[in-house]
Amino acid sequence: MAGGSVSAPQRSKDFGKLEHGCEHYKRRCKIRAPCCNQIFPCRHCHNEAANSVSNPKDHHDLVRQDVKQVICSICNTEQEVAQVCCNCGVNMGEYFCNICKFYDDDTTKEQFHCNDCGICRVGGRDKYFHCQKCGSCYMVDLRDNHLCVENSMKTHCPICYEYLFDSVKSTRILKCGHTMHLDCFSQMTMQNQYRCPICCKAVLDMTAFWEDLDMDIDATSMPAEYQFEVSILCNDCNSKSMVQFHILGLKCRRCNSYNTRRIANQAIICDTH
């Protein structure tokens, strides 16, 4: 064995279950990071430490598949990656993936390995499917019910800029097909931000709000000097049109959205269809 000279007493496989680990995972082992040869409770703990050092040149993430050695938290034996400790016999993780070198005692997360993603996911294999175009796993109720954006998950959250593909946080697919963290989406909408930060399309059903705005505009006459037409581009349907100027909003003639922006007159190509 790699980490000790004295054999530990044999334990049941469940010994110490859910009693060890870190804020990210309950598990009965630590990992030796092959990139810096240091010991951490998990890869997230490694990444947080490695990316908080003062010299940006030293920032790096651990490649989970590269982990070769783990240290049992029960008997402190360092050994090659395996589910069962070679010295004391405990499961170092009730869930274990030999591909991702991933351990977790909390199986209520319903972990599973997705071969197409190449990493472990949570939530239950029967509740998720892999979208080949988007390049990630989504809940089955989104099968044939979402706008595909190629490799949409292999990008950073537009709010917090954390990489989405292997984030442990829940994600939200917007109507436009772009993605962000669910918590970031909630915070964004709580601040009355209703547009996708990437493409500016509405992410909520704004029909009722547009109808209220219609009434406000009808009740608010503009002075004679402001009664002129302006060129607009609709963020929702991408059409261009000439509309009557109003300080409260500029309404798209095609889809009735007020999610529009004013553009230069010479750039207008009127859409009469």
Chain centre distance of CA 271: 37
pLDDT digits (tens, 9 = 90+) for 20-66: 999 999 999 999 999 999 999 999 999 999 999 888 888 888 999 99
pLDDT at 6: 65
pLDDT digits (tens, 9 = 90+) for 184-200: 999 999 998 999 999 99
What CA–CA distance (Å, rounded) separates 44 from 40? 9
pLDDT at 84: 97
**Average pLDDT per run of 10 along the chain, which is 273 residues long?**
63 95 96 95 94 87 94 97 96 97 96 94 93 90 88 90 85 90 94 93 94 95 92 95 94 95 64 40
pLDDT at 196: 95
Cβ–Cβ under 8 Å, residues 146 and 130: no
What CA–CA distance (Å, rounded) separates 167 from 180? 10
pLDDT at 265: 66
Long-range contacts: 143-147, Cβ < 8 Å, 24+? 146/173, 146/177, 147/175, 147/176, 147/177
What CA–CA distance (Å, rounded) separates 202 from 210? 12
* Burial category of 230 from C-beta neighbours within 10 Å (exposed 0-12, middle 13-18, buried 19 and up): middle
Domain ranges of the chain: 21-106, 113-191, 206-262
Amino acid at 98: N
- What CATH code would you report for 206-262? 2.20.28.10
What distances in angstroms separate CA 164 from CA 75, 116, 152, 198, one per listed residue? 36, 16, 9, 15
